Homo-oligomer: A and B are copies of this chain.
């Protein structure tokens, strides 16, 4: 079953893309089924997001073409055989599906190869190995010779990064599912419960209400490990639980929230101080979201607020502006403030991070911490971004920096040592840029110290 927008929406998207080109075609291979442990035991099917954007259909083994010269769209694919129908039930005909997404022409897959002959073929970077192999066959090139079209990438980013009203509605829906996932975990976060149990049910909620999680759920008491996908610990009094998780709704629009909660039900004074600092950075980063602001300015604002807080606590010192510019705060927050989000949780990451978050006006920094910022460029109405500051105490990183005496003018390493086993805190929401400013997506999810403590104790 396909969940689709009205057919003219897909047509308009293709027309807008087409308008930017006068020659050649754009080729969009669908994602295929992806095997786990043998060919027919496959993961949950996930269509390619560019395919979803221009052709809507969430189906494997089809190919979409936008012909920039003939100004028309085509779908190449085969109808199901009777044998498939016995095992898989009634299947719609591709020609009927094409009508649903206003595609002009349907042809059998066997005609694709000759159709492509002598054409200038634009394609996006293939990220699945089977589609790499398929492209080598279709384009008669080696894998190393498959060069994606920069022009196509840039035009797609320009279209996909501005979310339309019907997309924003889907994003709200995805955020609602995310809120349900987090609310469940907050209500069941108690000493003795296993991380795996909470992780599993959170993923189950995402599947129950949509298409599943938008990325592998992070749910760990070792919040200092930024990409921690182990869930083998039992929740312990006194520790913090970080949950970074989002949902994909039935139309594959994504959400992404992070909350950090004290397993005991109340934050210790030490936890509370750090939490308040991250909370203020999150609130400041969100408050500053509006059209015309470069998102790197929001990053700067948030890490400045973090630095101020860390100075109050006694973990940092010295000139704040200088400290931020040099990246001293990156000991505590090595990552960026956020990323775009839409049909992918890191939206369009398959097209290349620098095309999505940077442009001719702003280049990626080479400074540790600053260089991890995914979305730096000027915000426009219709952008949706995550705002996710954090403070972490990462023993390995502390050891390296301390041994190198890095930023001794800004960091009180003796005090940092007393936080060595603290863990980490991150707080994240998704923010839509509007004409007037911004709107946080989804129902409000408990975020302040008192809100978190209240729901944990409820």
Using a CB–CB cutoff of 8 Å, the interface residues on chain A facing chain B are 1, 31, 34-44, 46, 48-49, 82, 85-90, 127-130, 132-133, 143, 196-209, 215-216, 222, 224-228, 230, 232, 334, 343-346, 349-350, 394, 396-397, 400
Complex CA gap A36/B201 in Å reads 21
Complex CA gap A300/B104 in Å reads 52
The residue that A38 contacts in the complex, of B88, B198, B204, B350, with Cβ under 8 A, is: B350
Report chain B residues within 8 Å CB of A46: 36-37
Report chain B residues within 8 Å CB of A41: 215-216, 344-346, 349
Query: Which residue of the partner chain B has the closest CB to A395?
Result: B90
Query: Which residue of the partner chain B has the closest CB to A222?
Result: B89
Query: Which residue of the partner chain B has the closest CB to A225?
Result: B89
Smallest Cβ distance from A212 to chain B, in angstroms? 8
Smallest Cβ distance from A196 to chain B, in angstroms? 6
Query: B349 touching A38 by the CB < 8 A rule?
Result: yes
Report chain B residues within 8 Å CB of A228: 88-89
Query: Which residue of the partner chain B has the closest CB to A36?
Result: B46
Known: A208-B200, A397-B86. Contact between A127 and B345, CB under 8 A? no
Query: B201 touching A208 by the CB < 8 A rule?
Result: yes
Complex CA gap A46/B85 in Å reads 30
12 new A-B contacts, CB < 8 A, other than A38-B349, A88-B227, A133-B133, are A37-B49, A38-B346, A39-B127, A41-B215, A43-B44, A82-B400, A85-B396, A132-B133, A200-B204, A200-B207, A201-B207, A204-B208
Report chain B residues within 8 Å CB of A224: 89
Complex CA gap A344/B35 in Å reads 12
Query: A39 touching B226 by the CB < 8 A rule?
Result: no
Query: B196 touching A200 by the CB < 8 A rule?
Result: no
Query: B215 touching A207 by the CB < 8 A rule?
Result: no
Query: A350 touching B89 by the CB < 8 A rule?
Result: no
Smallest Cβ distance from A416 to chain B, in angstroms? 15
3 smallest CB-CB distances across A and B, nearest first, come from A204-B204, A200-B208, A200-B207
Report chain B residues within 8 Å CB of A89: 222, 224-225, 228, 230
Known: A38-B127, A350-B39. Contact between A232 and B199, CB under 8 A? no
